[in-house]
Amino acid sequence: MAAAAAAVMAAGTLVAVNAAPAAAATVDTNAWYALVNRNSGKALDLYASATNDGARISQWTRNNGVN
């Protein structure tokens, strides 16, 4: 039983060690982007199309607005 548990733990460790590193994407400053939550499917929304630091954000159903 202990050998089986050790094998399972070792296999789990190998998966974590072999995980691919994250890579940053190139951002085109002339393009528009929509940030969509993978779980809810909702998009990031800026209240009143604010551009200031500390602007209020929330998640809304995507409507392709300028927010």
Pair 10, 2: CB distance under 8 Å: no
* Mean pLDDT of all residues belonging to the chain: 77
Encoded amino acid at 36, one letter: V
Q: Is pLDDT at 47 greater than 80 in this prediction?
A: yes
Pair 7, 18: CB distance under 8 Å: no
Q: Is pLDDT at 8 greater than 50 in this prediction?
A: no
The domain limits of the chain are 32-66
Q: Which residues are paired to 46 by β-bridges?
A: 57
pLDDT at 39: 93
**Nearest-angstrom CA–CA distance, 13 and 17:** 6
**Nearest-angstrom CA–CA distance, 56 and 63:** 18
pLDDT at 17: 56
Q: Is pLDDT at 15 greater than 50 in this prediction?
A: no
